[in-house]
Structure 1
């Protein structure tokens, strides 16, 4: 079997950020800076609206773990290692292990829902301030929360499986049902783990306490039904190998998706980075592209961001968010508060009631400009 050439990037703690502007350390200061950021004209005559680049931190409030946060997978479970694309394709045993892991984890994702941060993006889109979203997340929360605001799922999505031969896509829900029928002992374990709450945490110690034992590499230890016995179905059309419809570690992003992401950056004048450390190159290069185009950049993330000093150079002294913003607040708290602030400000300026729907977007933007 080919050995994976890729390592997991930036699993250690990144340097803490320097807040921009300094007044953004408080919630009112952060809201004022972000309002200025969205209201200011784009630099260099670039398009007026913003594009969002989001990551796992945006979905933490939905009950999903991020990767590099305080309670992220790589911080809490030091032994965790993802399965690489080459391993998955080359090894039947590795696919058993992957689908067993996925079988246990699917229920947590399936019952999770978009949070207030996702819906705030819908509202910012309705106000004409955001034109599109690029997300690294595979949870499908963006298209669920704001179907009218275009979403590009950079790393794919878990809602489907895809055949590596015919490229046909199939429902992950139906695949879960097939796995349960093929693996009744594992299905029983899943029900027990759900009842005990063992799958509600990434912490191996907490999982053991709740009755879900793991071996040293982080996989579930089930002596009565080892991984070698786990069964998974083939493609119903070609009997080919089914994989999750995500970009796995070591797998390349499709050229069409890369192009669409670049076009989304190039079609905006500002970049709003949400809940991501930009640790993956696919995300960082988009932020760098925005910077190289002269776009204004705002970052909302708990904890450090890869190479973030690069994004906040050459700022005018005393700028109060018009050129750049860097804040540390939870997105599910900050973004809804920002929407409320913007709506109240617009209502006060026009003498009307609160602005709540899309038809008012032009008046709103005219008032702020």
Structure 2
């Protein structure tokens, strides 16, 4: 019997947020609330630093699709669902469909750039106000925009593929070149689409009018496309040195005359180096994310509804530790009332902040204001503290990428 599909959480519109403090409905009010949040001493004996948790909404200004925003995929494409991990592992046809769509979307994703929101996070780090970032995004914008701030990519990254058998990683650009070689007709179609600018518009409705459905994470859907003709390469390491199976025998890794993976193979399947829907996050990554929360005194959540449990549990961990939480997101957030329970109704940001504004607009404006004012001494970690944190956490996060 076919394994039942998992339910995708929170695809409907979440309840509208309660703005906190009430004075933060305007841009100046929002900036003032976040200034107080970032400058205020952490409660009790918690560390002075702030950790940032981000989601897909932060990359919308870079031209990428998100899931649950006003123009998110779950809003404009009701039939969309991501590929499930068990589908990818078990179905050759599902992998053809996935890689065909990813092939069409990769160039646009690779050429996209971090936006002012990402660079504002960099600047908050340079001001001594942000010590680490945990992101759900797989676009690699955070490490590109602020390589000096430790960044943990909770759900992996699209810049590489990884073998499901030997776990060897391969740069996505090289994999893309192999897909183009194995699928010349698809490559010609892609080059024409790029030349005509058909994939350049950021408007999802205009893209659909041109015959494309552009979904998150570099997925371009072409209705009626012959996905069954698409071919993808085998893991080169497994091809040259087939891995051992559980019974001690060598796995068969076979390719056709052009080097495309053959369905007679039992290993050597390459997947994107991301956590697919239904796939578990590695224990080491979970631990590193928890350590990032435990190493800070405040949590700043940016552009995510925290619909996935992997993100929500980190915010819950922060709240349970007594860390003040600030959330900036357009639209509702999963269970957000729990993060602001018990706040003094007269507090103006130190205990918690909830804003509904674009990070592309708000964060650069916040940085400009902060640069005009001296940073409070009790809000900024000492140089020794900062150096120690960056050295330790950079090593931890770097290990997650190996």
Task: Return the match for 2:356 from 305, 328, 331.
Answer: 328
Can you give the 5+ residue segments of structure 1 that lack an aligned partner in the other structure?
Answer: 351-357, 363-369
Mapped partners of 1:300, 1:202: distance in 2: 22
TM-score w.r.t. length of structure 1: 0.89
* Shift in Å, 1:126: 1.2
Can you give the 5+ residue segments of structure 2 that lack an aligned partner in the other structure?
Answer: 215-219, 240-267, 387-402
CA displacement, residues 201-235 of structure 1 (integer Å, 9 cap, x when unaligned) = 68776345325599xxx941456xx1111000010
Trace 1:1-369 onto structure 2 (pairs within 5 A). Answer: 2-200=2-200, 206-212=206-212, 219-221=221-223, 226-239=226-239, 240-346=268-374
* Shift in Å, 1:255: 0.1
Higher deviation after alignment, 331-340 or 48-57: 331-340
* Shift in Å, 1:320: 0.3
CA displacement, residues 186-205 of structure 1 (integer Å, 9 cap, x when unaligned) = 11221232234433468776
**1:43–1:295 CA contact under 8 A, matched in 2:** yes
**1:54–1:137 CA contact under 8 A, matched in 2:** yes
* Shift in Å, 1:5: 4.3
CA displacement, residues 150-189 of structure 1 (integer Å, 9 cap, x when unaligned) = 0000000000000011100001011111101111111122
Aligned-partner SS, 1:113: coil
Mapped partners of 1:134, 1:74: distance in 2: 24
CA displacement, residues 288-312 of structure 1 (integer Å, 9 cap, x when unaligned) = 0001111000000011100100111
Mapped partners of 1:306, 1:69: distance in 2: 13
**1:77–1:203 CA contact under 8 A, matched in 2:** no
Flag the 1:122–1:196 CA change in 2: closer, same or farther, 3 A: same
Mapped partners of 1:147, 1:22: distance in 2: 35
Mapped partners of 2:320, 2:128: distance in 1: 24
* Shift in Å, 1:43: 1.0
Flag the 1:222–1:194 CA change in 2: closer, same or farther, 3 A: farther
**2:275–2:281 CA contact under 8 A, matched in 1:** yes
Flag the 1:205–1:140 CA change in 2: closer, same or farther, 3 A: closer
Flag the 1:204–1:309 CA change in 2: closer, same or farther, 3 A: closer
Aligned-partner SS, 2:325: strand
Mapped partners of 2:64, 2:208: distance in 1: 19
Higher deviation after alignment, 131-140 or 328-337: 328-337
* Shift in Å, 1:329: 1.1
Aligned residues: 348
**1:4–1:250 CA contact under 8 A, matched in 2:** no
**1:154–1:261 CA contact under 8 A, matched in 2:** yes
Mapped partners of 2:204, 2:144: distance in 1: 31
Flag the 1:31–1:204 CA change in 2: closer, same or farther, 3 A: closer
Q: CA RMSD in A?
A: 2.2
